[in-house]
Structure 1
Amino acid sequence: MIVRNQGLVRKLAMTHSSQYVAQDDLIQQGNEGLIRAVEKFDPNMGNKFSTYARDWIKQTINRYVDEQHTIKVPEYLRNKIMRIRKAQNTYLQAMGKEATISVLASECEMSENEVETLLSIKPDAVSLNKSFGEGESDLENFIEDEKSLTPEDAAEETMVKEKLKSALEALSPDERVVIVRRYALDGKGKATLKEIGDDLGLSKEAVRLKEQRVLRKLQMSADLQHLSRIE
């Protein structure tokens, strides 16, 4: 599974690639998330492994980027670190397991102590605390919400949303609008009862009651029990 999903790891790593975080570091972190997904995945749940693994990989990369400190690392040390990271990735893809310090030292022609020291150094990273104008507050809240989920919770929620989408076909147009917008299934962010009510010409209370009725319908499916905890 690890070798077969390297394309997914690289794709997600590229979304964070920049001059501040080496892509090899991101791929390494993504592979660590992939390994955890392999360990945690239960095929009996009836879900695709790629869907489950995506959130483990994404969350692991996000947390790595977030944890980086803005420190200055000399260029020659950065080159050495990147060489070690590349060796780690090459070994993992070929062998399906992580390389030991001894293996990395041999591959990179360094001492084991040097490899350990270099791997403990975090590369330069840009701060996420930037000004984004009028949308700043919403963006900050979105980032915090994304990172408050564990990879396992994020994967589980993704699968729940996928099953919810397939259940929408049985709903009326208004019911579908309420659920799609309340649970951000359109990718545009969670809408308030008032916003939905304004669009449908209904009061907040009418939208709330409609939402509750639809949820009761959907929660009859065992696959969608988690809807009751999404606020």
Structure 2
Amino acid sequence: MVARVGADLLDDYNRSGSLTLVDVTTLAQRRGLSSGAVEDVLLALAAAGVELNEERPELAYDGSGDLDGGLVRRQIASVEHDQLGAYLAAASRIRLLTAEQEVRLGRTIRAGQEALRALAADDASAIRSGARTRYVSVIEAGRRAHRNLVSANLRLVVSIAKLPRYSRSGIELSDRIQDGNTGLMRAADKYDPELGYKFSTYATWWIRQAIDRGAGDRGRAIRLPVHMYDQAKKVRAVKARLESQLERPVTLGELAGDLGLEVGRVAAILTWSEPVLSYDVLVGDEEDTPLLDLLSGDSFDISCLDPAAVVLAQQLEHDLARVLAKVLTPREVQVLTWRYGLGGCDVLTLDAIGELLLVTRERVRQLQVKAVETLQSDSHVDCLFEYLIDHAVDDVLVSPLEPREAAPPKRRGPKKQPGKVGN
């Protein structure tokens, strides 16, 4: 995968004549590469003689964008929460770092990390007090450098968190900033100043990844696990790329072929990414009508919104299945299930059931009558009558004595009595 990403980036560089670090990290994120793999790609590009252009105003914040101190202060008045406004004001007062300062802080951080590893690896009792003091001093210096590097780039997190792609995620700006800050701190831990890149461009990948993870974790009413969210995001990215190339909607087969997955798997992943819509969402031209008010008719059952009714209906279905299995034979249970539509099945006619069981219509009727008579005379059915007092499941409960469709036709003609001859 690293070699493929490197080849694609080389093709882009040969076509356009330039390449940025953000281009590299963006493609790496779409392909699902880890941070270590990103560094391998950067080393491969450097070996191929590719010089990365670090100028990317919309992502690589250099202090001269739309988030300078004056604009942040003007935006504070429109921020709803005072704490967020105070945070933005404080972040705007922190001076930006020069490239030399970033390199110096990065080296101090790495020295502190090496000292911490050395102190943990060595025998504490064997370390002299003077050496221990030097270790602790270097570690503390690294922690201070880490705080300074993170603090100086807080506005970078704000600039990324306010991008439109994240504004539509359903996560509040303050939460997006919080997620981005965790990515920024992770970037400060992993930053290698010897590679020669600005910290802001390197940190952009970590910040975006952290905000994406936060959106996947809290941006949906039904949470998706991280690996499922990443899969859905990858499929959506490939789908958008193919549709842009083909200039038409892409089929599941084409999408599965590009991803190297089965068609059913791709369809399932696309289903995961479908948004969850609330019944209370406002719709219409003026957005003043709840969606629930527009859902009516036989296709929508309002009782499904009542949690108590749903639980009661599920319990009834469970108890009914238990009683039927205890009292009737498996074939009789199957006949009643198809005949009365139990468990959500479609109601079938006697002829249809006969075709499924390979018996005659009359035999199906006999099985039905026998099963109903058995239920009427068995005491195990008594536990089901308690559901009759709850009106929430009147439409769910189907008594064996009250089928959903017309009762079987009566016999034609009078029943002959033995020993009697009709007039």
Q: Greater CA radius of gyration, 1 or 2? A: 2
Bigger share in helix: 1
Which structure ranks higher in relative contact order (CA pairs < 8 Å, sequence separation ≥ 6)? Answer: 1
| TM-score category, normalised to shorter length | 0.3 to 0.5
- Give the TM-score normalised by the residue count of structure 2: 0.22
- Give the TM-score normalised by the residue count of structure 1: 0.36
